[in-house]
Amino acid sequence: MRQNVLERTGDFIGHSADRVSDAANAVAARVEDGVGFAKRTARQGIDTAGDVLDGAARRIQRNPLKVTLAACAVALGAGVVIGTLLKRR
């Protein structure tokens, strides 16, 4: 009787250890997948940012006057908004 209980307990502990090991492996695999996804996404973001900068540089070279006027208009608009907000206080 005692031997049977000890064997069943040992089997249960062994089975539990196997399940814990499987769970740990599954978690490790998911973390690895997440890291790979983060790396791919960061790489894609860097590529996109480079494309945007290249496009802006081309636009500046083709139309420097338009770009300068647009930048001045944005700065003027921002100044008006900030000035209005400061006057309110």
Percentage of the chain beyond pLDDT 90 is 69
Please give the mean pLDDT across all residues of the chain.
91
Q: Would you state the pLDDT for residue 18?
A: 82
Encode burial over 22-60: b for 16+ CB neighbours within 10 A, e otherwise: eeeeeeeeeeeeeeeeeeeeeeeeeeeeeeeeeeeeeee
Domain boundaries, the chain: 2-88
Residue 1 has pLDDT above 90, yes or no: no
Q: Would you state the pLDDT for residue 8?
A: 80
Q: Would you state the pLDDT for residue 10?
A: 79
* pLDDT category of residue 88 using cuts at 50, 70 and 90: confident
